[in-house]
Amino acid sequence: MKKIILLLLVLMIGLTEMTEAKSKWISLFNGKDLKGWFVRGKATWTVQDGVLVGEGGMGHIYTDATCTDFEAKGMFRISGDKSNSGFYFRANPPADNPDGFPRGYEAQICNSQDAYTGWLWKPGTPTGKATELLTKDGEWFEYRIKVVGSHIEFWINDKPVMTYDDSEYKTGVILQFRVITQG
């Protein structure tokens, strides 16, 4: 049986204008198809019953949108032992290898390693430590990410789990997902 990762029941992004007092939330996923997204790598991405599903190997799916400061939230579920995914931001595909790992930040989505869901990663390296593991395989959870200037914050189910300051990556794709499945 293949292990799969199910991602994205609802994904909203709050684009913050420094001149505005309020954020405007926009949906990046229409729940019907992959319009506004592009795929790299071997993973197959589909929409099943309003859910974005990645399976079948390592790959990324990117939005067409980019920004600097933002707040994003979505519903996620990891299905399968050893499955590993990530919510990338301020990141872009490498020009020399479009199917390779992007350069930027990653909010980890993984329950099977020491640097689990809630950790901040920079290319290949756990960077900002999550305070605790609040997710379980097979269960939906809300992930919220807020980035303003160099300040990065993560929440799982409205509980703060990670705060970090870093200014290496200033702009890029708002988010993308990585899926690695084993089976």
Tens-place pLDDT, residues 42-70: 888 888 888 888 887 788 888 877 778 88
- Of 34, 2, 18, nearest to 177 by C-alpha is 34
* Fold (topology level) of 4-180: Jelly Rolls (2.60.120)
Entry pTM: 0.83
Q: In whole angstroms, give the CA distance from residue 84 to residue 61.
A: 14
At residue 5, the pLDDT reads 42
Q: For residues 158 and 154, what is the distance between their CA atoms, to the nearest angstrom?
A: 9
User: According to the model, what pLDDT value does residue 142 have?
Assistant: 92
Stretch among 94-103, 110-119, 156-165 having the lowest mean pLDDT: 94-103
Domain ranges of the chain: 4-180
Predicted local distance difference test score (pLDDT) of residue 33:
93
